[in-house]
Amino acid sequence: MTLQAVLFYLLAAVSIASAIMVITRRNPVTSALFLVLNFFSLGGLYLTLHAQFIAVIQILVYAGAIMVLFLFVIMLLNLGDSQSLREVISLRKLAGVGLSTAFLLEIIYILGFRVSDFPAGEVTRGLEIGTVEYIGQKLFTDYLFPFEITSILLLAAIVGAVVMAKRKLD
C-alpha cells in the first residue's frame, strides 16, 4: 500500500468516526469540537487529492472562523443542559430519516457505480487544478465577472446585517 493510500484510509476513518461522534454526543461543545476534527481530516483528504487551496480554505474558514461562531452561539444560547436536547421520535422525523436514507443510497449509487461518466479530460487536469496559482489565474480572467459580483453580494449582506443588527431604531 502506498503512503497515499495509507493516508487516505487513516483520514477517512478519522473523519467518519468524528462525524459519528458529532451526532451521538449529548454535550454540544463536545459535538462542536468533534466537528472541528472532522473538518481537519477533510482538509487532509483534500491535500491528498492535490487540492491545496481548498485544503487551506477548509481549515481557515470552516475549522477556524465558522467553528468559532458555532461555539459562540452554543455558549450564548447556554445549551449546557443536555436534558433539553433529548430526542423525541415522531412520525415526521421517521419520514425524514427514510427520505435521507433513500437520498444517501441514491448518491452512493451514482458516485459509486457511475464513475465512468466523468469526462476523461477532467481527470488528467486534476493535478494543477487545485493550486493557488491556477485558481487565482482563473478567478481574474475567465471568472472575473462572477468574482466582481461576489463583492456586490458581500456588500449587500453587510448592509443587511447592519440593518438587522442596529440597536437603535430611528
Interface residues toward other proteins, by CB under 8 A: 106-107, 109-111, 114, 117-119, 121-122, 141-146, 149-150, 152-153, 155-157, 159-160, 162-164, 169-170
Residue 38: φ, ψ to 5°? -60, -45
DSSP annotation of 143 reads T
Nearer to other proteins, 2 or 151 (CB): 151
CA–CA separation, 26 and 89 (whole Å):
16
Q: How far is the CB of 148 from other proteins (least distance, A)?
A: 9
Spatial CA neighbour of 130 closest among 57, 73, 38: 57
Three cell numbers written together for 168: 437603535
Nearer to other proteins, 6 or 156 (CB): 156
Q: How far is the CB of 156 from other proteins (least distance, A)?
A: 4
CA–CA separation, 93 and 165 (whole Å):
33
Nearer to other proteins, 89 or 119 (CB): 119
